[in-house]
Amino acid sequence: MPPLNASFLIEQTQNRTSEPVLLEEPISIEALPTPALVLDRPALGRNIDKMAAFLGDHDKGFRPHAKTHKCPLISREQIAAGAVGVCVAKVGEAAALLSGGIEQILITSPVTTPLKAQCINLLAKQTSGLQIVVDSLAGLNVLQAHLDAEASLGILLDIDVAMGRTGSRDVDLLLTLAEQIVADPRMTFAGVQHYAGHVMHIEDFVERRNKSLALWETVTERLQILREHGYDAAIVTGGGTGTYNIDVDVAALTDVQVGSYILMDQEYRQIGSAENDQFLDFEVSLHVACSTISAPRQGTMTVDGGYKAFASDSVAPVTDDHAGVKFHFAGDEHGVLVLPKGEQALQLGQVVQFVAPHCDPTVNLHDYYWVKEADNMIHSLWPITARGCVW
């Protein structure tokens, strides 16, 4: 039995494959083993290019968040489109992405335990491009206690303004952290992060814009204080899909951590955009395909996807292909579709594609993307290498 230590954890994670599997013959959506995650590759490419072009036009860097897709193949496409690096939420995701060839990785959650710090030490010896946020002395000190002399780690201060999830609002603490980072030869003071997740889904665009910019003003004041003490933040990173075209107006911001835009989901489609009351700036490139398997009652159909196929933390899955059909969760393995009155629009054995309620946790339920090309056929499987890397 191997001991549970950092080497074991990293090795287990880095043994996973991240290479695509090409199908011998392309298959249709109808031939999928449902429930199956379908990735529309042309739409994915258009989303990547649109965001890269928008941020480029606004002189902002592009540091997409891989917590959304958990797939090194997708990160590679984002880097090819000009991303300065990628973000991950957790150490396990960093390990998986690194083994998939991604070298510039920012871990956007702090760590505080020896095991995680030991994992970071191992990863920091695999790449000079590893960065992590800190927001406490305990977190910084545990990293310092476990970093070897030859490891190099970029550190960003995580600044909280209003969300209250991670980050610090305490200016004295931020200054003390910066001082200790700069004094440590294994560390580089790389900059700051500010992420306001509670703002991303504010429905009204103007309200979202005003809130986000007001928070960034407070961050900018903190940056000024840091600068006055000799700590210049080369990277000022943050923002997300809901504020991608708002935060570019923040002069201090260097790059945007957009995640969900690449796949899109129903939660995001429901908010307003700069132009209208639906956020359609990016295409839905992710669907969960399910099959109808039973029709126990007039006016309903049961599909083979439930809580294990869709994240259920927010709204219900939605199908754009069958107007008026409503999805209700019916347990771990099933959903019940309520059909529009008087219509039996669906047959048994039919495949129905649903927009994910919330893309990140939906992806984390699946092993592969079934990749659909421009001919509407599935040509390959892309492993969701960091699936389950929630540590």
Ligand X SMILES: Cc1ncc(COP(=O)(O)O)c(C=O)c1O
We find the least distance from the C-beta atom of residue 68 to ligand X, in angstroms, to be 6
Does position 195 interact with ligand X (CB under 6 A)? The reply is yes
We find the least distance from the C-beta atom of residue 157 to ligand X, in angstroms, to be 14
Q: What burial letters (b/e) apply to 217-234, b meaning 16+ CB within 10 Å?
A: eebeebbeebeeeebebe
Q: Which of 197, 230, 324, 340 binds ligand X (CB under 6 A)?
A: 197
Distances (CA, A) of 22 to 33, 77, 101, 371: 16, 18, 19, 10
We find the least distance from the C-beta atom of residue 260 to ligand X, in angstroms, to be 3
When the beta carbons of 139 and 259 are compared against ligand X, the nearer one is 259
When the beta carbons of 20 and 129 are compared against ligand X, the nearer one is 129
Q: Are 244 and 56 in contact (CB under 8 A)?
A: no
We find the least distance from the C-beta atom of residue 158 to ligand X, in angstroms, to be 9
When the beta carbons of 153 and 159 are compared against ligand X, the nearer one is 159
When the beta carbons of 104 and 108 are compared against ligand X, the nearer one is 108
Q: Which two tokens stand for residue 275?
A: 């132009």
Which of the residues 61 through 100 are near ligand X (CB under 6 A)? 65, 68, 87
Which of the residues 218 through 277 are near ligand X (CB under 6 A)? 240-242, 257-261
Instruction: Identify the CA nearest to 38 among candidates 310, 287, 266.
Output: 287
> What is the length of the chain?
391
We find the least distance from the C-beta atom of residue 311 to ligand X, in angstroms, to be 13
Quickly list H helices, the chain: 6-14, 41-57, 72-80, 91-99, 114-124, 137-146, 171-182, 205-228, 266-269, 359-363
Q: Are 314 and 358 in contact (CB under 8 A)?
A: yes
We find the least distance from the C-beta atom of residue 165 to ligand X, in angstroms, to be 8
For ligand X (CB under 6 A), the number of binding residues is: 15
Q: Which two tokens stand for residue 79?
A: 């880097």
We find the least distance from the C-beta atom of residue 371 to ligand X, in angstroms, to be 21
When the beta carbons of 72 and 259 are compared against ligand X, the nearer one is 259
The phi and psi torsions of 34 (rounded to 5 degrees) equal -80, 155
Q: Which residues contact 175 (CB under 8 A, 6 or more apart)?
A: 225, 226, 229, 231
When the beta carbons of 41 and 208 are compared against ligand X, the nearer one is 208
CA dihedral 294, 314, 42, 199 (to 10 degrees): 170
Instruction: Identify the CA nearest to 238 among candidates 222, 215, 261.
Output: 215
When the beta carbons of 123 and 359 are compared against ligand X, the nearer one is 359
Q: What would the x/- binding string for ligand X be over residues 97 to 136, using CB under 6 A? A: -----------x----------------------------
**Which residue stretch of 91-99, 180-188, 193-201, 274-282 sits at the interface with ligand X (rule: CB under 6 A)?**
193-201
Residues that bind ligand X (CB under 6 A): 65, 68, 87, 108, 195, 197, 200, 240-242, 257-261
